[in-house]
Structure 1
């Protein structure tokens, strides 16, 4: 033990001395002469390429670009995260103004549907017309949708405005992440993805508070406040991003290699026909019907005709979409052009993506993270409201415990990826924490311990925060650079789909457990006849509000709350298989490359070679001077 301690101590001392010597521009004691000269040359090169200002402070070009980028993207990022949660708080009030309380849930559902299914389409637009124009399109849609909702005089107009704004929000979500992931640097992608996710979570937490405050003035301010902010965002993006982000990209699979046209030389019609419109319509139709079925099913109507019809239509459309994408890929591989221009496009989502194990596992793990996060937001609030008896505002503030965990998890994952140069470790560790935390949350709910629920909510946030950023990095670097846009859109789609599936599943589990428990109480005969009659009446009409629970006698209220407590507990437990499978699958993720560091290393090696060629070392000079003498002293036949 002593020898091992002494060996490690000496190694650390030598490493520290070497670092101090390198920082001072001196050769390390462990370096030989050639290495010392190489280090000195590299030091001079770095100093020349990054001169400091007179005050000793230098802002690099890369840092200036990052500041400009975040300044331009700040408004789109903030409003894409705030809009849904702000409106969710006020949608009951909005529907009441138009006397259509029966349609109040559609105010959020329409926005969620359009913002989700348009994600891959905006990835194609970002490739065909460039990142800047795609973001401007998205901001324009969001502005128009907000304006329609601001001036809506009936519920139909309100829903149309929400749908148009959802298209813009989906575009902003997709294009912002595409722009940020265009960097080939692992460090930049790691930082940006984690910070974006943190902003997204803050929006979910503070959105309800902002929505409640604006509703007290007028619900129209919820949408009107978007208009000047979008105008500012359009100007900032035009000023700071135009000409600085990726423009129109060439075809990924040109059908005729002899007639490759530059993306800048294509006409508007040629670019328009590069979009896979058939694939987009099939994908969006399948997505809308699937999400509608999941939203309707979460209320407990799984056997209804409309839900079954939506699932069937969704399945048919997705099968047709897969067949269409397959035909496009086969034609592209064969290099055959078709007379039908719709068949001469790049596939919106290439099926070849799904041959990558890393990408499929990353998408599944992102799906699970979105599932867990959204369920936590909704079902912890249900527990505190119904079982704990807190008001809606007080229950909402309990969700703030999720934020410190997310922040800690995001920061931890950033440090791990930066040091290890691989995102796999925080991904696996985060999924392990999520699996354990879900079990602990359900245990705390079973004990009805609010303090423990809050504590384990923090732990769940740590797990989710540790996975989202590294998973996006893993997916980004597991694919070629020209697929960056579609991978970023798929990440967002998987997260949104996970949240929808999680709410539908946990809603079904909660409703099933509550109904089963209360029916068992009625059949047991342990309740007084009057209480049994009240409970049967509520079961037949459905326990649809807090008021219906409050109208029950105190002892029956406790029984109903106990049923909801067990239903919430089993809802959280039902997520454990999802996260457990994600944990197992992520263990087999591959190592990713680091193009940014590899490129810098190659560039520095090139600089060293040029320096060595132009400034030969003393050893080389001595060899050059001694060559004539050696040649003169060599005997005949010697080489």
Structure 2
């Protein structure tokens, strides 16, 4: 293992700045455990309520605000990413991470005690305000205690934790809902939060940053990036409600706000997202590639569990179990690739090969039929997972190694911000196209089935079948939940499931060009020698 040395950059620390100390192996281990727990809490909270929502709506009402339980968390988390990154570079990672953990625990407590949907949405927003910090600061803090050459194996494990918890979220949510109750999806965060607080407070020892630039906080830039993010997220989650004029207005507002944001960031002393980040080719390449992959990856993963339920007739929990092969493949390749990077110091090939394998997995998945065997679905999604685990966390290592320690938090946050924006756009694209296609396929398939029933004969059974099908033709896509579809008689269920398959799976193939574009971009990554020291 390379020798770990602490380096300082810049002038001699002033009286208000503590000297850095070399972290012991014990400190690194306990800090890493705490950071994994924070990553676990943040990623679990993105998916754990998905299987609990029907029960929650039954308990609290407010079905019209149900989508905000998910959107509120995602919006708050995305908005806070660049803010946490920059503030942590100015004021230090440790205090911000402790605040983020406590904020997340506060939101969890409010959610567990929520007596109405409005309170639950408020709790999710509070969770998101803390969750953005958990996601960013856990990744940034690794760079503070582990040199780049050794960081690969730690990033690999963190990537595995993120992937496993994201897939396991629906499983845990389903188990809690059918067992102790959905409120435990919030209560469980409190002991995890206490563990993370203890690990960070006791074992994360970092030098205090210089106070020289702490008075130059970019409030205007933060406000602008919040406004830009609000427009992007709200637009992407309400695409079906926008007409052509609305789209023109949204585009015009974004152009004006982005131009103003760039102008502000070029002028202020401590910008929330320094434009100099974009002068680094490795940052540009990794960020563009991650955004492209985010569009494809999250667009697919958002609908895959529902697709499994719809075509196989299994419950949400069972659908989560069918995603275990993909989860296992992510876990394996994420850890292997991280360790190989730490051993060899070479990283360029992993995002390229990983993205190619992901594209292959998407292409294979797009060939599935409604009656395809379950084992085939598991194998194809496992191929996708192999690629996902191989390269995704390596991109974070590439970004962090491209900049000095003074702006690692900012670089990490900016990278994750664009990745999250890509995920939001991808989910919106797939959702919008899928919904419009599903309506047409359901109408056409039911019309064909009605013609078949009519041709078969006009007996009593045929008359009942015709009446049922005429009623089904007025169903909207929002009515076609897995539970509702699986409760239908075979003459109705089969054409609807076929329509679902025909509407969704070709879109997976349409996501492959995004992966191909990312592969081309990753060829421009510049291989650098990874540092064997910790820089402060």
State the TM-score, normalizing by the size of structure 2. 0.85
**Number of residue pairs aligned between Structure 1 and Structure 2:** 501
The answer to whether structure 1 residue 227 and structure 2 residue 163 are counterparts is no
Partners in 2 of 1:117 and 1:471 — Cα distance? 21
Q: 1:549 maps to which residue?
A: 485
Is this contact kept in 2: 1:476–1:484, CA < 8 A? Answer: yes
Q: 1:247 maps to which residue?
A: 208
* Greater CA drift, 108-117 or 557-566: 557-566
Spell out the pairing of 1:180-579 with structure 2 (5 A cutoff): 180-183=142-145, 185-215=147-177, 216-241=179-204, 244-248=205-209, 250=210, 263=211, 271=214, 273-297=215-239, 300-303=240-243, 312-328=252-268, 345-445=269-369, 448-521=372-445, 526-528=451-453, 537-543=471-477, 544=479, 545-546=481-482, 548-550=484-486, 553-579=489-515
Q: Indicate the SS of the match to 1:349.
A: coil
Question: Structure 1 residue aligned with 2:67, among 105, 108, 111?
Answer: 105
Structure 1 residues 383-437: Cα deviation after superposition (integer angstroms, max 9, x where no partner): 2211222222211111111122112321332244234422101111111111122
Partners in 1 of 2:504 and 2:139 — Cα distance? 34
Partners in 1 of 2:316 and 2:444 — Cα distance? 30
Q: 1:29 maps to which residue?
A: none
Q: 2:519 maps to which residue?
A: 583
Is this contact kept in 1: 2:94–2:200, CA < 8 A? Answer: yes
Spell out the pairing of 1:167-178 with structure 2 (5 A cutoff): 167-178=129-140
- Structure 1 outlier segments of 4+, above 6 Å: 304-308, 522-525, 529-533
Deviation at 1:596, TM superposition (A): 1.4
* Greater CA drift, 180-189 or 458-467: 180-189
The answer to whether structure 1 residue 166 and structure 2 residue 138 are counterparts is no
Deviation at 1:472, TM superposition (A): 1.0
Partners in 2 of 1:87 and 1:550 — Cα distance? 22
Is this contact kept in 2: 1:358–1:589, CA < 8 A? Answer: yes
Is this contact kept in 1: 2:93–2:141, CA < 8 A? Answer: yes
Deviation at 1:125, TM superposition (A): 1.6
Partners in 2 of 1:444 and 1:522 — Cα distance? 21
Unaligned ranges ≥5, structure 2:
1-21, 455-462
The answer to whether structure 1 residue 131 and structure 2 residue 93 are counterparts is yes
Deviation at 1:177, TM superposition (A): 0.8
Shift of the 84–133 alpha-carbon distance from structure 1 to 2, 3 Å rule, reads same
Q: Indicate the SS of the match to 2:52.
A: helix
Is this contact kept in 2: 1:445–1:568, CA < 8 A? Answer: no
Structure 1 residues 316-337: Cα deviation after superposition (integer angstroms, max 9, x where no partner): 4333212221333xxxxxxxxx
Q: State the structure with bigger RCO (CA 8 A, min sep 6), 1 or 2.
A: 2
Partners in 2 of 1:537 and 1:312 — Cα distance? 43
Partners in 1 of 2:472 and 2:235 — Cα distance? 26
Unaligned ranges ≥5, structure 1:
1-59, 251-262, 329-344, 600-639
Deviation at 1:172, TM superposition (A): 1.2
Deviation at 1:128, TM superposition (A): 1.7
Partners in 1 of 2:108 and 2:252 — Cα distance? 33
Is this contact kept in 2: 1:92–1:101, CA < 8 A? Answer: no
Deviation at 1:94, TM superposition (A): 2.2
Is this contact kept in 1: 2:89–2:407, CA < 8 A? Answer: no
Partners in 2 of 1:346 and 1:132 — Cα distance? 20
Is this contact kept in 1: 2:445–2:499, CA < 8 A? Answer: no
Partners in 1 of 2:500 and 2:207 — Cα distance? 52
